[in-house]
């Protein structure tokens, strides 16, 4: 089994009155991995380190075959070059852009209008995530479930090699969560991009992941392959 995610990261975070040391090491061989732990255990920090949004991170990160961070060899790719998509806990959809513009952000760079091929990709995403009716909608008018679809589509727009999801269902109410858990599982299966999913809800782990890493106070305390594991 090939290693999909290899991570050995240390980071010292200082904020007024609080000091947090992240010292996490783990490998994962499954397509979808869950990262669980109590709040404050450092789960989101690990995601930031993988995404390239944590300047204090030191160590080694290799994801889907690509080395993103290797302090020993002075490698530290900036976020925009890492090819890692990130779905935020509350989706962080750009409020001043429509759904379509949010999706297009990762596809067209500044000042450029989308060409033929890029238009095609945007349309494909819209179809794939069932967003046709919401093309011109503003994020503030969308429901929780709709926002989740847009956030996922946006993260996938630049065709990343790896996907990070930060508590993707916690912003939803209980009923919606059950329904969208299924939808998310289906989407992830369809899209075939390896993913690391942060959650504190064990039902998420069961439905969405094939292995799980436990984090506590910035350190990995346990890891396991769950029953629904699919060898790659």
Among 114, 144, 145, 158, binds another protein (CB under 8 A): 158
User: Nearest 5°: CA angle at 212, between 85 and 86?
Assistant: 10
Among 9, 34, 68, 84, binds another protein (CB under 8 A): 84
Please check whether residue 229 is in contact with residue 211, taking contact to mean a CB–CB distance below 8 angstroms. Answer: yes
Residue 78 vs 231, nearer CB to another protein: 78
Residue 57 vs 212, nearer CB to another protein: 57
- Contacts of 48 by beta carbon, 8 Å cutoff, 6+ apart: 54, 57
Residue 194 in contact with another protein, rule: CB under 8 A: no
Q: CB under 8 A: which stretch of 46-54, 118-126, 201-209, 214-222 binds another protein?
A: 46-54
The set of long-range contacts for 50-54, using a CB threshold of 8 Å and a minimum separation of 24, is 50/7, 50/82, 50/84, 50/162, 50/164, 50/196, 51/79, 51/82, 51/84, 51/86, 51/164, 52/76, 52/77, 52/78, 52/79, 52/80, 52/81, 52/82, 52/84, 53/79, 53/86, 54/11
Residues 159-178 that bind another protein (CB under 8 A): none
Among 55, 78, 136, 231, binds another protein (CB under 8 A): 78
**Cα-based distances in Å from 22 to 16, 28, 113, 199:** 17, 18, 42, 18
Shortest Å distance, C-beta 67 to another protein: 18
Residue 49 in contact with another protein, rule: CB under 8 A: no
Shortest Å distance, C-beta 81 to another protein: 8
Residue 13 in contact with another protein, rule: CB under 8 A: no
Among 22, 34, 51, 142, binds another protein (CB under 8 A): 51
Residues that bind another protein (CB under 8 A): 48, 51-53, 78-80, 82, 84-86, 88, 90, 92, 94-96, 105-106, 109-110, 140, 154-155, 157-158
């Amino acid at each position: 089994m090939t290693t999909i995610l290899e991570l050995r990261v240390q980071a010292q975070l200082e904020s007024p009155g609080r000091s947090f040391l992240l010292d996490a090491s783990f490998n994962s061989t499954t397509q979808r991995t869950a990262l669980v732990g109590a709040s404050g255990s450092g789960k989101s920090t690990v995601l930031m380190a993988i995404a390239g949004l944590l300047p204090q991170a030191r160590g080694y990160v290799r994801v889907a075959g690509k080395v993103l961070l290797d302090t020993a060899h002075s490698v530290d790719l900036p976020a925009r070059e890492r090819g890692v998509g990130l779905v935020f806990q509350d989706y962080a959809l750009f409020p001043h852009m429509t759904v379509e513009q949010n999706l297009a952000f990762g596809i067209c760079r500044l000042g450029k209008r989308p060409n033929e091929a890029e238009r095609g990709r945007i349309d494909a995403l819209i179809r794939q995530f069932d967003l046709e009716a919401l093309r011109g909608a503003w994020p503030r008018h969308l429901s929780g479930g709709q926002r989740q679809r847009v956030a996922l589509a946006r993260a996938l727009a630049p065709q990343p090699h790896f996907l990070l999801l930060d508590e993707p269902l916690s912003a939803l109410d209980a009923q919606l969560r059950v329904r969208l858990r299924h939808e998310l599982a289906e989407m992830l299966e369809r899209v075939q991009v390896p993913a690391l999913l942060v959650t504190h809800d064990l039902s998420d782990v069961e439905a969405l992941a094939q292995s799980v890493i436990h984090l506590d106070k910035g350190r990995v305390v346990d890891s396991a392959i769950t029953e629904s594991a699919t060898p790659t």
